[in-house]
Amino acid sequence: MPESTSQNPEHKRRVRYKGTHPRRFEEKYKELHIDKYGDDVQKVISRGQTPAGTHRPICVKEILDILDLMPGMIGVDATLGYGGHTQEILQKILPNGKVYGLDVDPLELPKTESRLRSLGFTENNFIARRMNFAGLPQLINESRCLFDFFLADLGVSSMQIDTPDRGFSFKLDGPLDLRLNPNRGSPVSSLLKTLNSEELAAILHDNADEPYCHVIADAICKYDGPVTTTKQLASIIHDALTQRRSVNPDDIKKSQQRVFQALRIYINNEYGVLDQLLSLLPSCLNPGARVAFLTFHSGEDRRVKKSFQNGLRKGIYSSIAPTPIRPTNEEKRSNPRSSCAKLRWAIKR
């Protein structure tokens, strides 16, 4: 066999999956190996889907316009996720600028940190911290300066939604967990054992405006045995609602989504930490600093809107978004996960 040279490279066979039907998530998706399967990744994106193990950042241009970044600026991406926004921000603030990227997720954060390091971002310009954004003021002790910009892209990343083991979605079966940090607290499956029907209905109503909260809560609490998997919960909701003639399959799917959303918000105390962040944020910002929040449902958007309006009234912010900015139709088409996003901004006085 001839030796491989640059003109005559040795042909390497593509690595095949073991067996004909890979069972494990990591074996299933070529997109998890972006370096090897670039063309496949582009095909997935052009179908309007998100390649497994990645997250497509939303409203990037709009956010960069709002933040009005310059070289040397120092600021925070409070929800680092896959680091898509941070990567774009870094291009604008180098040289001498710095991003603190925060995330509560101990599983995804190290992957994102090494991805950004492999792109050449060093500790001088990008710091990754596993922390809750509600603790933002503690970061000032480390940065020793107030921030020039701040971004929060709330909720969950595509990596979290698409990994069945995390239990965020009922498309694939997995343990009913839904914690952003699975090393802290208890999974939703344990929570459900402790709640009575009234308490559960209140969570579904308060966190997701679920119209059938009482019917669903009753069905979950009366279920014979523990509810431990995502598919099990989805089918309990399905069975409880199919008995009602006025509810069609689309309504059932929406209820299933709202129940998962409500339980996720509850188990991660998402409203509690968002309220805390919104009240502490101004004290962490330089005069003129720009702030952007991407929200994905009315409970989040209402909180951000109220906080900005109060801040404007009290003279904390000099200017705020009069109405939320929405992704363009093109972005919604190419990335359906962006379709319910709302972007609000504020400028610190």
Ligand X SMILES: C[S@@+](CC[C@H](N)C(=O)[O-])C[C@H]1O[C@@H](n2cnc3c(N)ncnc32)[C@H](O)[C@@H]1O
DSSP H or E stretch at residue 45: helix 38-46
Q: Which of 41, 73, 102, 127 binds ligand X (CB under 6 A)?
A: 102
Cα radius of gyration rounded to whole Å, the chain: 22
SS3 content of the chain, % helix, strand, coil (to 5): 45, 15, 40
Q: Does 55 bind ligand X (CB under 6 A)?
A: yes
Q: Is 53 in the site for ligand X (CB under 6 A)?
A: no
Binding track, positions 153-172, relative to ligand X; x by CB under 6 A: x-xxx---------------
11 burial via Cβ count (<10 Å: 0-12, 13-18, 19+): exposed
Interface with ligand X in residues 210-229 (CB under 6 A): none
Minimum gap (Å) between residue 348 Cβ and ligand X: 21
Give the span between the Cα atoms of 324 and 194, in whole angstroms.
38
The rounded distance, in Å, linking the Cα atoms of 331 and 166 is 27
- # chain residues binding ligand X, by CB under 6 A: 22
Q: How far is the CB of 180 from ligand X (least distance, A)?
A: 4
Residue 104 or 278 with smaller CB distance to ligand X: 104
* Region from 76-84, 225-233, 248-256, 316-324 binding ligand X, contact rule CB under 6 A: 76-84
Distance, CA of 81 to CA of 161 (rounded, Å)? 12
Q: Give the CA distances from residue 342 to residues 18, 27, 255, in Å, rounded to whole numbers and listed in that order.
A: 43, 35, 22
Closest contact distance (angstroms) between CB of 109 and ligand X is 8
Nearer Cβ to ligand X, position 73 or 102? 102
Taking CB under 6 A as the criterion, the residue among 100, 121, 126, 133 binding ligand X is 133
Beta bridge partners of 99: 75, 126
Interface with ligand X (CB under 6 A)? 55, 57, 78-79, 81-85, 102-105, 108, 132-133, 153, 155-157, 180, 273
